[in-house]
Chains A and B, each alone.
Chain A
Amino acid sequence: MIHSLFIVNSSGDVFMEKHWKSVIPRSICDYFFDAQRKASNNEDIPPVITTPHHYLISVLRSNLFFIAVCMTEVPPLFVIEFLHRVVDTFEDYFGECTESIIKEHYVVVYELLDEMLDNGFPLATESNILKELIKPPNILRTIANTVTGKSNVSATLPTGQLSNVPWRRSGVKYTNNEAYFDVTEEVDAIIDKSGATVAAEIQGYIDCCVKLSGMPDLTLTFINPRLFDDVSFHPCVRLKRWESERVLSFIPPDGNSRLLSYHIGSQSVVAIPVYIRHNISFRDVGGGRLDITVGPKQTMGRVVEGVILEIPMPKCVLNCNLTVNQGKYTFDPVSKVLRWDLGRIDPAKLPNIRGNISIQSGSPPPESNPPINVQFTITQLAVSGLKVNRLDIYGEKYKPFKGVKYITKAGRFQVRT
């Protein structure tokens, strides 16, 4: 399936390669660079590139390209999903996945890649199993290993690999038993010129951080489980109980994991927490004017924080001369992005930005106004109204610390002007 993997940085250097079958020369990446040149930006590079004998399937994560080389028919999503899983694993191991981090930990990276794929077919991708096979690097262990001569590599097969709960290590022990759940909801919306909602969806996640000893069996119940429209689960969740009782019953993976993600589609009514009153106009002479006011809408009494507005200005805009009554703004003359970081919205005094936009002299004014991309967060609120009812633990005696956190964020939130 996957013959080789090349990791390429943003400047076009192949700084790591791994082959699972016969070696494929790295010159194959030239096809990729050709495609890169043709594309207007890195995002536009097609995920699959056909070459005379090979197929290059690539993903772009944190400004690195992970290019898998395949030679025969393979489901492209299979490879893409796997590459993302590889990056997820790196992030899990090293905190982040950048060129310098990968270079620093190349041995672990190599061992991981070797363990994750055998002959191009995924072997072990479950993070808990990998962590037992190859210990994640940390300073303490590095020192201990140099002193004692132990290695980072396990000599025994992780029990998870054979059990039917591969996501959990055996013999987990914590002094403080705790289980935290983060309910995160992202609002994707398109708002049209007049402020009406064109499309709005909610993408929600429940991430858990479970540090519990032994083999606990948890059940998580919701006050209003009917809200869920379309759900996907971590393999640990018992589908049967979900279908019959709408209860999440599972043996949790150790550490951090995404328990479920759900989607509340465009058919249901989604509350939009902010409104934006905007007035952007370009004139033939003397540039344009901009006046934007942001206000809270359906926030259920919570404060809207971390509000950032980003406006990709037309290419002919030279500079912006604006005044704000709150926060600060920047204009990047290269990418032509106006960014206004205004912080929290105070309903008493609505944040406002206004001023002039100067346009290249001689060029005609742009015909259409730029869209506004909005970011915000609201803590302690799940905008869909989702609420966790209770968490019960079975199978273990201790009483864990439990906590649930709700956050609503803007996802792909766009206002057309």
Chain B
Amino acid sequence: MATSGGSYSGERPPSVDVDYSADPASGSFFSTEFKKHEDLKQMLDSNKDGLKLEAMKRIIGMVAKGRDASELFPAVVKNVVSANLEVKKLVYVYLVRYAEEQQDLALLSISTFQRALKDPNQLIRACALRVLSSIRVPVIVPIMMLAIKDAVTDMSPYVRKTAAHAIPKLYSLDPEQKEELIQVLEKLLSDKTTLVVGSAVMAFEEVCPERIDLIHKNYRKLCNLLVDVEEWGQVVIINMLTRYARTQFTDPNTGDCAEEKERPFYEDEEVAEEIEGDRRPKAMDPDHRLLLRNTKPLLQSRNAAVVLAVAQLYQHIAPKSEVSLVARALVRLLRSHREVQAVVLTNIASMSTRRKGMFEPYLKSFFVRSCDPTHIKALKLEVLTNLATDTNISVILREFQTYIGSSDKEFVAATIQAIGRCASNIREVTDTCLSGLVSLLSNRDESVVGESVVVIRKLLQSETVGHRDIISHMARLMDNIKIPMARASILWLLGEYCDKVPKIAPDVLRKMAKTFIVEDDIVKLQILTLATKLYLTNPKQTRLLCQYVYNLAKYDTNYDIRDRARLTRALVFPPQGHEDNKLTKHAKKIFLATKPPPLQQSSFKDRDQFQLSTLSHFINARASGYQDLPVFPEEAPDPSVRNVEMPAVLPIETHRDSHQKRSKPQKMKSFYSDESSPEDESDENQSESESESDSDEDTSDSDSEESSSEESESESDEDEVEDKSRSKKRSPSGEKVKKQADTESSGSEDSDSSSSSSSDSSSGSESSSKEGSNESSDEDVKDKKVKNKTVDRSTVPPGGGNRSNLDLLLDLDDSPPAMDTPLLTPSLGGLLTPTPSAQQPQPLPPGASIQPASAKFVPTTKHELLNRISSGGLTVAGRFTRSPHLYSPRMTSVELTFTSNGSEEIRDISVGKKKLAPGMSLHEFAGISVLNPGTTLHGTLGVDFNDTTQPAVFDLLAGGRTFNISINAPVGELITPVAMNENDFNLNQGKLRGMNELSGTVNLSCNLCNAKEITSRLYENANVLQVQSYDDKILRFGGQTASGKALVLLSLTVPEEETDLECTITINCEKMVISSMLLKELQSALKKD
């Protein structure tokens, strides 16, 4: 160190003991710069905060100006521990800027961040996470991942928001973390805080926009929260939801698009809507409507980006009649900054190519002011031209006329082209425009004349009637016009219509031959064309001229012209010996064929391929990272995926034929009518819960959401109301489904809270099952694979239309036997729903759709428990009702029927001493005080068999006597049915392989020849529910043990032929005793007798 350059060390005061001149090269040459940094370093090393702050400020100044300050890294990074917050923040800023370049040194600061991540102050935690994730050092990827995972479950929404921001950062640093990040993201997406969702969706868009399935469960929540999300988040969410809607809903305009295009504008809007309404094939998905309703108020946002995002959403997914809503808001944006105007006008121009009527009322807002910048003027012209119709054309043309006088020549040229377009699009004004353009030919400004000539050429071409005057007028202009394009246009016109001006054309050619060599390339080519055409029509006069021109062209410097000359000459003047060339014979046809007139249309037409409001749309090129807006699916995917909880899945085929089905509920009704039976109760319960959910919604939902819905209702124009009523009329099923979903979601919330508060068991079982799946890594991998599969499938879920029809059918039944039961008892719910952590709502695990359901079959057979002979007149019979017990979901309900056969009344029937095996419990029935002779009373007993087949033994006290009663439950009754979809079934079956799988074969009895029969027989013997599936080779049934809530998955192969009646039963359940006994029971039930 001391050996640094002599002159340099001489300069330095010897008292400075720390010598930084380690690098001799940086010696005297850079000394001033070097010294400046030196004093900064000293300031940073001092222990005064003021000095440090000053130094940091100066360093930030260097960073801001773009000067290199990386040399100071070691000195700065030390101060990351500074107590002074401002110093700290500035150090953070510095770190983020330079850490990438100085990775090793940056690692020194990591431990500070890790400590700060645990700080009680949320701002500090968030800050630390922000900086930690912004340091682009690959080594710390695992640390970042841990930090993000922690932060996602942080108490503070601000920290969670920061975590959402960190996800794309980590993803860009290490894309391999994608899978893991998606899991984290899933959690964040289910967050209910407005602060977080915007950022979460942003992260979703950056990391995995293709995983649209992650949105299903959050869709309704996002729609409802949208109004309250901060404005930037709104833009991102709306854009994402547009894409979502395009994949999940059907086109609301199917069938009427052709008709719509033909109608030029909207003056008779109401009539149009009526027509449209009648034509509408089916009502919109309520979720589709929800999105449109909830985005509408955002048109009043002060943020132009939000307004435009809503506008594009309406343009892309709303029914045609509603799109015009957005026009007014877009026009309002035109008063904003120049840049905003440019973007909005581009979008309006694009929209107006499709829908004139939408912006026609605002025509005057697009009038050009002389103070507008040129590109704004051009865009306004474009819009005006697009909006031109035969009614407003006079206004527009008058406006155009004033523009031609403008001093902005570029703008004038654009105006002339616009006039040309109007003229060719609207027949009525073609002549007026043409004469107007011709009068412009005498304009003093050359560019105006040039442009007019080009436009006139296009117009004449599409006109069939001769315009001899105009052509000859233009031919005269040839001497004055200098603009090549215009000259070329005139020449071409002369050639094309040379028969109309037989005298002038050869003369012009003569003049042009003289000036050939000085002309522009494009003009030379046209001279050649003119010469050829003239020779073909009038060879006598022009033969020599033509050859002369060819000779000139032959030696031109431009190879295009030489080429063209050679080609045409060979055609027109065939070489010796080839006179009877076929091409030559047809030369006239080749050159003087009638050309199709140029189609003059908006240059914005081809922008349709891009989604409005995107960068790609604006620049009319595919920007990197642009995703095409998907086309509406023909058939809407299953709408139920958006239900927060799955509704009970119905088997496609009911297990009894219709006759039986009808008779059975009635029977049940009569059976229950005398008392408050569980069924009635359930009905009551349900209606209650429904009303409850309604009120719930009112109170719990945020104020503004309520406001938005209400407001949109009040605001909704007639057509919407009409629409609604129509949708009600047409598809009550859709409506019903939604209602059901609503109640269910509220029900599940209820159950969530109750399960978290009361039943520990459920969480226990949940965690235990998780442990089970985590036990072997192999299983884990499998698990993942299966999950991926599920994802794939869920994007194309099975036909929903089918289902809703079925719903409809069942709803019409006056007493639905098995349908909407998940809400029967609040306590029944959330056993498989995740247990929410104390801090924040947890996202649903993949299997969350597994829902307890109600039994498909209720056995009516009673088992005699107490014989009247032994009891002296009292008969007790038991029946498994298969309905969940109110006291605890772990219990199996047993309905006891007490019949007094004696002549005396029996008093005080109640449960006495219980003799139960450990783990079992019993909930007594309500005591019966008096049982009159000859009457029958019921009591419901709840027994928790604890998933064993041990009998529940207890004493029954009746009339002072004690009877020993033992209830033996067949395994089939220890199971409660669960509804799940096929994916979940497969997923869970995948988890329960190996020892948990048991299978056996059985020779079916001959009357069980088809799936229906087997299903119904199975229902009689086991309380399970069929899993809906397309695969009719295998019947799948889902259930869970009543007490332990362990899944029981049953699958049966259906014999293919009637002769071969062998059937394989597979049972997957982690309780092996249950599965083995169930297998035995089923085998005996199904086998040949």
Contacts and interface: CB of A to CB of B under 8 A. Distances in A.
B168 interface: yes
A12 to B, nearest CB: 14
A412 B369 contact: yes
A368 B338 contact: no
A388 interface: no
Contacts of A18: 64
B983 to A, nearest CB: 32
A227 B875 CA distance: 82
A40 B374 contact: yes
Given A70-B615, A125-B232, A111 B93 contact: yes
B970 interface: no
A261 to B, nearest CB: 7
Nearest to B167: A119
Nearest to A151: B86
Interface in B327-365: 328-329, 331-332, 335, 337-340, 342-344, 361-365
A76 B618 contact: yes
A241 B706 CA distance: 11
Interface stretch (B36-44, B121-129, B523-531): B121-129
Interface string A1-28: 0000000000000111111111100100
B337 A80 contact: yes
Contacts of A162: 156-158, 195
B130 interface: yes
B996 to A, nearest CB: 46
B619 A22 contact: no
**Among the interface residues A60, A77, A258, which one has the most CB atoms of the partner chain B within 10 A?**
A77
A146 B86 CA distance: 13
B618 A367 contact: no
Is chain A's binding surface mostly helix, strand, loop or mixed?
mixed
Given A157-B122, A373-B371, A232 B300 contact: yes
Interface residues of A, number: 104
Nearest to A84: B337
Contacts of A231: 300
B342 A119 contact: no
B184 interface: no
Interface in A148-206: 149, 151-157, 161-162, 164, 166, 188, 190, 192, 198-199, 201, 203
Given A155-B121, A157-B158, A107 B710 contact: no
A300 interface: no
B711 A243 contact: yes
A352 to B, nearest CB: 24
A234 to B, nearest CB: 6
A23 B134 CA distance: 12
B402 interface: yes
A306 to B, nearest CB: 19
A343 interface: no
B369 A119 contact: no
Given A243-B715, A364-B444, A201 B365 contact: yes
Nearest to B49: A149
A34 interface: no
B756 interface: no
Nearest to B58: A107
B252 to A, nearest CB: 24
Contacts of B85: 151, 153-155
A216 interface: no
Given A43-B338, A55-B623, A232-B302, A107 B613 contact: no
Contacts of A234: 302
B302 A77 contact: no
A55 B364 contact: no
B614 interface: yes
B230 interface: yes
B493 interface: no
B344 A77 contact: yes
B715 to A, nearest CB: 6
Interface stretch (B304-312, B734-742, B831-839, B945-953): B304-312
B1036 interface: no
B301 interface: yes
A401 interface: no
Interface string A55-82: 1001111000000001111111110111
Contacts of B172: 21
A233 B707 CA distance: 15
Interface stretch (B108-116, B624-632, B1003-1011): B624-632
**Among the interface residues A15, A81, A118, A258, which one has the most CB atoms of the partner chain B within 10 A?**
A81
Contact of A59 (B130, B136, B339): B339
A118 B100 CA distance: 17
Contacts of A46: 342, 375
Nearest to A244: B714
A266 interface: yes
B615 A48 contact: yes
Contacts of B126: 157
Interface string A218-237: 00000000000111111100
Contacts of B124: 155
B841 interface: no
Contacts of A412: 369, 371
Contact of A107 (B57, B199, B402, B627): B57
A14 B61 contact: no
Given A44-B375, A75-B615, A77-B304, A266 B342 contact: no
Nearest to A87: B337
Contacts of B625: 71-73
A24 B448 CA distance: 44
Nearest to B332: A263
B613 A77 contact: yes
Contacts of A414: 369-371
A265 interface: yes
Contacts of A60: 338-339
B621 A50 contact: yes
Given A118-B165, A153-B86, A232-B332, A26 B66 contact: yes
A416 interface: yes
B84 interface: yes
A258 B93 contact: no
A161 B615 contact: no
B623 A73 contact: yes
B597 interface: no
A355 interface: no
Contacts of B158: 157, 161-162
B239 interface: yes
B1066 interface: no
Contacts of B86: 151-153
A21 B133 CA distance: 11
A416 B331 CA distance: 23
A164 B305 contact: no
A302 interface: no
Given A119-B165, A239-B707, A240-B708, A77 B343 contact: yes
Given A46-B342, A81-B303, A106-B61, A156 B121 contact: yes
A36 to B, nearest CB: 13
B1045 interface: no
Contacts of B486: none
9 contacts: A55-B623, A73-B623, A73-B626, A76-B343, A123-B161, A151-B87, A263-B335, A366-B407, A367-B443
Given A119-B169, A151-B85, 11 more contacts: A14-B66, A76-B618, A110-B93, A153-B89, A154-B123, A188-B335, A203-B335, A230-B331, A235-B301, A239-B708, A240-B708
